Structure 1
Amino acid sequence: MLHSFAFKNFLSFKERTQVSFALTQKASSHGWDAPSPASQRLATALAVIGANGAGKTSLIKPVAFLSWFVKHSFLQSAPNAQIPIKPHFSTPKEPVEFEIEADDLNGTLWRYQLKATPERVLHEAVYKRLNKKHAKFSYVFVRNWDEASHEYVIKQDGFDLNPAEAKKVRPNASLISTAAQYGVELAQYLIGANVASNIMQVGRVDPNLGFLNASIFFHENATLKKQMETMLRNLDFGLSGVEIKKLDVTMPPDMKLPDGTKLPSQYQVFGVHTMKDGSRHELQMVEESSGTRTAFTQLGYLLSVLADGGIAVIDELESDMHPHMIEPLLDLFASPHTNPHNAQIIFTSHSIEVMELLGKSQIFLVEKKDCESRAWRLDTMEGVRVQDNLYAKYMSGAYGAVPQL
């Protein structure tokens, strides 16, 4: 489970900012909490609230970026490509810094650190703390750029990447991503962390791509497809079911491809409508409402982490949907029946009603002043009580992070 992440000089956040899922034993969670394997009580849902342009998306983007960097930077980055990070515009020459902590099913707590410019990694390290009494963090590897020698100095303890291969790591790639391609067992274990997000390393996932990914996911997972259909019925979209048809694309006679190469399959998604007389009608999903299509796509992200554990990082959870839709989506993360693996979600929202659902320990507020974003967890503010009407107080401006109109 994800314990916390922190970053500095990233996008609109100039100063170090930390986002923690950790809850005290007394903190009210309204059901969205679970004990981690490392015996820390953690929130399973965090909401990010603030005005347009305040930096809400920037606050959650580090998780999506780090997931991509650790898993895919070796294969998906051209050798001379820049790392897709952007420092605060007032300090463009200063490095961007990240840190993230999460535990695994054995209760081992892992800490990953990254300091980089768009041109190169300056520092990358992994530390672990075993699930034992009085255990302390010890390094797995530490990688530092030495400006004098213009090469990386790398030390390892149990990472087992051949030192000669480690020396070849590209400046724009993670040592973990690189080692995984060389078959290093621990690296392959570390890249297995399950992060589902509608944010890419450079921005939002195109809605059409998100819809396609959800179509493929549900076509290949019949059990989760049934769960998705049940959710769409319960959300009152007027659907009785969803049909997903995989179509092989026929290649035109004058089009030639290398031997064995196939054009990618296409997926057609239909909303099924059942009339009172029992007659069944299908409409292509493109003809359904934007809210229906968004719910279908969002459920692709959410159900994928609920099925196996992990974290969903979602920008504008309720996009194109009625605000009342948020509660049943969040309820998926509160119930042991639908969340047996203690999956988590962090999301941005403009539906302030979410403050009536979550506790003060599960709400982050974001505002921007003098071109710098800052964020804080609501329970860190003085005078915020458990019994307060958080929604009413926020709307009155008592907590800040509201548009200045």
Structure 2
Amino acid sequence: MLHRYAFSNFQSFRESTEVNLRLNRKVPQVGWDVVSVGGHRLSTVAAVIGANGSGKTALLKPVVFLAWFLKNSFHAQVDAPIPVTPHFSSPNEPTEFEVEAEGLDGQMWRYVLRLTQQRVLHEALYQQKVKGFSYVFVREWDESAQHYQVKQQDFGMAPSEARKVRPNASLISTAAQYGVEQAQMFTRIHLQTNVVANGRMPFRADRDLPAAAKHFALNQAQQTQMASLLKAWDLGLSDVQVREHTLQMPGEEPQKVWLPFGLHTDRNGRSQELSLFDESSGTQSAFVLLARLLPALADGGLVVIDEFENDLHPHMLEPILDLFANEETNPHQAQIIFTCHAMEVLNVLHKSQVMLVEKNEDCESTAWRMDSILGIRNDDNFYAKYMAGAYGAVPQF
């Protein structure tokens, strides 16, 4: 489970910024909180709100980038730049990341990374012991010698190979290719997201509906759960089915794809089937969103969604988020971090589960957890006060 991540000099964020999912004893039982295997109290939900252009998406990107870097940077082209963008006021300064997370066995890990677009400058993995964190490996770029210095404790990669890891790749991603067990554990990070390096992937029905349909076709239990949820959410559906079809484009080989269909039944029992391509954008969005949420809920992991409520009615927020609050639907303590423009979320979540984001006149974003605001009370009307500008992070006209 994710505990926290911090970063600096990344996109619109110049100064160090932290997203923290830990809950202390003062936070009441809020429904979206669990006690992890390691005995830590954590939130399973975090909402990010703020004005357009404030940096909300940029706040999500570090955890998405780190998941890619740990898992897949080994497969990047040899001379490819590392896909990080520093704040425009500090183009020659490194970008820094730090993340703390807990394994399925309750073991705590800390990963630290400092880099430029050209190379990793510092990379380190720490494991929590009785007296604090102890390094597993530390990889440091020696500018004067023009090579990496690497020290290890029970990591298991040959020192000669560790020193030769490419400047644009993670030692963990590389070590996984050599069969290093601890490295392979990190490459199994389960992340579901609609965020890429350039921001939110725009919804494309021709791509996203068949991809989601294929997922459900290969996961019958999740297909059944998806259909049950869509019916319960009052979308006018009596069932949702997926079927394999063969498409033949002129001059091309036949291609098999999975396509979704919605069944509508009136009070007299008369039924009409529609392709989901002909359904509303809200129904389409909910179908694709569930293809991201249900795998994480089934197996555990992290979901990162930009513009969570896109094409959905605000009243849909709570029943969807409730999937992460219920032990029956979230048996492996999956977590979700999302941006949102539906301020009704402030009537649903606790102040400790909301991040506010704002950008100043110097084009620098800042973010803070709402419960860090002095004087804010648990019984405040968060929605009314936010809309009145009491907490900041609102558009200025």
Q: Please indicate, yes or no, whether the TM-score normalized by the shorter chain is above 0.5.
A: yes
Inter-partner Cα distance in structure 2 for 1:83 and 1:254: 36
SS at match of 2:100: strand
Inter-partner Cα distance in structure 2 for 1:397 and 1:157: 51
Change (3 A) 1:210 1:184: farther
Q: How far off is 1:148 after superposition?
A: 1.4
Match of 2:192 among 193, 196, 213: 196
The answer to whether the 8 A contact 1:21-1:42 is kept is: yes
Inter-partner Cα distance in structure 1 for 2:273 and 2:262: 6
List gaps (5 residues or longer) in structure 1.
Answer: 256-262
| TM-score, with structure 2 as normaliser | 0.95
Match of 2:395 among 393, 400, 403: 403
Inter-partner Cα distance in structure 1 for 2:385 and 2:105: 41
The answer to whether the 8 A contact 1:4-1:100 is kept is: yes
Q: Which moved more, 1:203-212 or 1:338-347?
A: 203-212
The answer to whether the 8 A contact 2:209-2:260 is kept is: no
SS at match of 2:241: strand
The residue that corresponds to 2:136 in the other structure is 140
Inter-partner Cα distance in structure 1 for 2:237 and 2:300: 28
The answer to whether the 8 A contact 1:84-1:118 is kept is: yes
Change (3 A) 1:253 1:62: closer
The residue that corresponds to 2:83 in the other structure is 84
Alignment of 1:274-353 (within 5 A): 274-353=265-344
Change (3 A) 1:29 1:117: farther
Q: Which moved more, 1:139-148 or 1:201-210?
A: 201-210
Q: Give the residue type in structure 1 aligned to 2:161.
A: E
- The sequence identity of aligned pairs, in percent, is 53
SS at match of 1:213: helix
C-alpha offsets along residues 176-230 of structure 1, whole Å, 9 cap, x if unaligned?
1111122211111111121111112332234234444322221111101111111
The answer to whether the 8 A contact 2:297-2:329 is kept is: yes
Alignment of 1:170-319 (within 5 A): 170-208=166-204, 209-247=207-245, 265-319=256-310
Q: Give the residue type in structure 2 aligned to 1:104.
A: G
Q: How far off is 1:244 after superposition?
A: 1.5
SS at match of 1:303: helix
C-alpha offsets along residues 3-56 of structure 1, whole Å, 9 cap, x if unaligned?
000000001000000110011112035211001122111111111110000011
| TM-score, with structure 1 as normaliser | 0.93
List gaps (5 residues or longer) in structure 2.
Answer: none
SS at match of 1:88: coil
Change (3 A) 1:203 1:253: closer
SS at match of 1:207: coil
C-alpha offsets along residues 308-329 of structure 1, whole Å, 9 cap, x if unaligned?
1111111111001110010001
Inter-partner Cα distance in structure 2 for 1:181 and 1:210: 31
Inter-partner Cα distance in structure 2 for 1:123 and 1:264: 46
The answer to whether the 8 A contact 1:218-1:224 is kept is: yes
The residue that corresponds to 1:28 in the other structure is 28
**Structure 1 residue runs of 4+, over 6 Å off?**
250-255
Q: Give the residue type in structure 2 aligned to 1:128.
A: Q
The answer to whether the 8 A contact 1:272-1:280 is kept is: yes
Inter-partner Cα distance in structure 2 for 1:189 and 1:251: 42
